[in-house]
Structure 1
Amino acid sequence: MSAERPAEATAGPARDTSGDTSAGPAAGFDPRHLRHHGDAEVRGPGAGLTDLAVNVRADTPPGWLKARLAAALDTLAAYPDGGPARRAVAARHGVPEARVLLTAGAAEAFVLLARALPMRRPVVVHPQFTEPEAALRDAGHRVERVVLDERDGFRLDPGAVPDEADLVVVGNPTNPTSVLHPADAVAALARPGRTLVVDEAFMDAVPGERESLAARTDVPGLVVLRSLTKTWGLAGLRIGYVLAGPETVAALERAQPLWPVSSPALVAAEACCEPAALAEAERAADAIAADRAHLAARLAEFEEVRVCAPAAGPFLLVRLPEATAVRARLREFGFAVRRGDTFPGLGPEWLRLAVRDPATTDRFVTALAKALAER
């Protein structure tokens, strides 16, 4: 069954959920852009760029984690045993083990959800990470979009989601806007007969993980996705997990192949849930918040650059004139940044910038000043 063109709804006065005719901020969006990710900005001509396009914390994985992964190589002759890692994740969030499913990165979870769960009217709240919609479309579903309003700071409006939606996907904090939605607003989307998927891939970069729903067992139909990629620098290892009701976990597990997560990835999941690792992640979240404030302050020096605020993730979404030309010039100056027009609801005037240390930010701002001056 082939995927159909998505219907769209715009949060706010212009909301329209009546059909699949494109209108509003995401009109004319090319569905091929759904599979464009930040790593594409770093590859190709100009290797060796300073990477502000991928939201993985710099200088990771840490040495102690590399040592644990290296030691895991001695176990490769045995089939993976996910039990210890699953128990560690359950203990980390204070939930029963039956509510945990380990996956080959959070991206695998989107595919499992699209293929394993029954649904008639899936809705994805945009702008956000595009892989959920891509997975749903690939599974043959007609996807409806609810596009949050830039004029309202891309804040979640639960009332913009159609009552008839039986699967809703929302990011928190949201990629690429860096908006952290209140937990109560996200939970308000839940109702009997609906699966509520909350992508919390960047929540461990938020000090205190405030507004997280990961430990909640009282929200009907809740599915929380987590990733170890961002904080620990494990994009190439592929490890994440699902937190959901036992029935949902069982349905997703049946859709997985045998031994879907490698032994080194399982070791990483267990290690990153230990108290010392959680304390390190909290310190990293505090450092990211300080570095993000420095980046925002430096960007405020440019009258033509507007930052989407308040921001809570390890990245900022910015709007500036002629962003496509500026992005190309920044590449010539040695910096890769993420284009924004591959996210439904955003146009070519948007860029996403990963938060880096102040020295890197200062070098980037110098390059940005040159790029803006040469327009």
Structure 2
Amino acid sequence: MTRDGLEHGGRLDAARRRFPGAPEPFLDLSTGINPVPWPLPPLPPTAFTRLPEPEAEAALRAVAAAAYGAADPAMVAAAPGTQLLIQLLPRLFPQPRLRVLGPTYAEHAACWRAAGTVVEEVEEAAALAGGGAALLCNPNNPDGRRLPRDALRALADRMAERGGLLVVDEAFADLEPGEAEPAAALLPHPALILLRSFGKSYGLAGLRLGFALAAPERAMAIRAALGPWAVSGPALAIGRAALPDAAWRLAAAARLAGDAARLDGLLEDAGLRVVGGTRLFRLARGEAGAWHARLGRAGILTRAFAARPDWLRFGLPGDEAGWARLEAALRPAGSG
């Protein structure tokens, strides 16, 4: 648990307290972060010692626009992580009511409620159009549910008709099939804001880099709210180098597709039923509490859900040693 009781993955210190006898190092499969990161280049000392130049931020926005399919860098705002954008949007573009397609990443609803918005969670995409504003994760976390681009366009048009807003969190979209036609191609649109997470796809979550894509006026408002030097010098340099690396992105997507299929097989063999996910995580159904505890005692952290005690989410191991540990922990007791 974190602030306000919201649950998140990746809390290894808390896992060590819960499973004090677990072998080290912990294998953290509780997040959807690419376990094989983009290879970091050497950085000049000035990336750390000087305030970032506005030209460097503009160059980052240009490569981000190209990578994400936006026609103009003016449609891009760069931020120190998508989480900050999630917290900023409700205050920058206030809405009286918001419908959220759930269950999904809980920070969205929590941040809008904190800003005074009445938030209603709906389970079907068709119900989103009935509110003044709407939000969904596409693909969704934790079940990988997707809404086609044509449906997104129709929903954004409905929101625009009533002066509302559609926020689409695409944190897990980069490595999924269909990226040849990104949702950013719908921009500029008066109602649409897209969020992209650099750290998950590129395996560099600690760098803290994320993007909002929107019509130029909205993107400019987001940049103004973030203020100068919002993105650190190292993040600017690494983002500028990594985002144009299409060959790495294609290779990572292919590797992760194979790894996701491999994980599905292990989970099904263990008696769990895979019910969704993306190339960065898989969602399984079964005796989740027992499996979470058993794996935790083996030094493997997974993502459990208090509201759905039959769900357990698995990230992907990053090397053969990790795969071997997971396979051994998933074997039936006494099978050797």
Which of 62, 76, 83 lines up with 1:107 in the alignment? 83
Q: Is the 8 A contact 1:178 1:314 kept in 2?
A: no
Which of 307, 321, 329 lines up with 1:367 in the alignment? 329
Looking at structure 2, the residues matched to 257 and 372 of structure 1 have their Cα atoms a distance apart, in angstroms, of 59
Paired AA for residue 169 in structure 2: D
Match of 1:12 in 2: none
C-alpha distance 302-349 of structure 1, shift in aligned 2 (>3 A): same
Match of 1:27 in 2: none
Looking at structure 1, the residues matched to 112 and 333 of structure 2 have their Cα atoms a distance apart, in angstroms, of 38
C-alpha distance 336-91 of structure 1, shift in aligned 2 (>3 A): same
Report the alpha carbon displacement of residue 59 of structure 1 after superposing the two structures with TM: 3.4
Which of 154, 168, 174 lines up with 1:204 in the alignment? 174
Which of 241, 258, 264 lines up with 1:290 in the alignment? 258
- Does residue 76 of structure 1 match 2:41? no
**Higher share of residues assigned helix:** 2
Paired AA for residue 369 in structure 1: R
Which of 126, 130, 133 lines up with 1:167 in the alignment? 133
Unmatched 5+ stretches in structure 2: 17-21
Looking at structure 1, the residues matched to 26 and 119 of structure 2 have their Cα atoms a distance apart, in angstroms, of 36
Q: Is the 8 A contact 2:292 2:304 kept in 1?
A: yes
Q: Which consecutive segments of 4 or more residues in structure 1 shift more than 6 A? A: none
TM-score scaled by length of structure 1:
0.78
Paired AA for residue 58 in structure 2: G
TM-score scaled by length of structure 2:
0.86
Superposition pairs of residues 274-289 of structure 1, within 5 angstroms: 274=244, 277-289=245-257
Report the alpha carbon displacement of residue 234 of structure 1 after superposing the two structures with TM: 1.9
Match of 1:176 in 2: 142
Looking at structure 2, the residues matched to 51 and 298 of structure 1 have their Cα atoms a distance apart, in angstroms, of 17
Alpha-carbon RMSD across the aligned residues, in angstroms, is 2.5
Deviations 1:202-257 (A, max 9, x none): 11121452563022226441111111101222211111111101121122223223
Q: Is the 8 A contact 2:253 2:279 kept in 1?
A: no
Looking at structure 1, the residues matched to 86 and 279 of structure 2 have their Cα atoms a distance apart, in angstroms, of 21
Superposition pairs of residues 23-172 of structure 1, within 5 angstroms: 32-34=4-6, 36-41=7-12, 43-45=14-16, 46=22, 48-62=25-39, 65-67=40-42, 70-71=43-44, 73-74=46-47, 76-81=49-54, 82-92=57-67, 93-146=69-122, 148=123, 157-163=124-130, 165-172=131-138
State the secondary structure of the residue aligned to 2:312: strand
Looking at structure 1, the residues matched to 179 and 334 of structure 2 have their Cα atoms a distance apart, in angstroms, of 36
Report the alpha carbon displacement of residue 42 of structure 1 after superposing the two structures with TM: 6.1
Aligned length: 320
Q: Is the 8 A contact 1:41 1:337 kept in 2?
A: no
Match of 1:7 in 2: none
C-alpha distance 327-210 of structure 1, shift in aligned 2 (>3 A): farther
Unmatched 5+ stretches in structure 1: 1-29, 149-156
Looking at structure 1, the residues matched to 178 and 13 of structure 2 have their Cα atoms a distance apart, in angstroms, of 31
Superposition pairs of residues 203-352 of structure 1, within 5 angstroms: 203-209=173-179, 212-217=182-187, 219-274=189-244, 277-303=245-271, 305-309=272-276, 311-321=277-287, 323-341=288-306, 346-352=307-313
Which of 339, 352, 355 lines up with 2:316 in the alignment? 355
Looking at structure 2, the residues matched to 76 and 313 of structure 1 have their Cα atoms a distance apart, in angstroms, of 37
Paired AA for residue 330 in structure 2: L
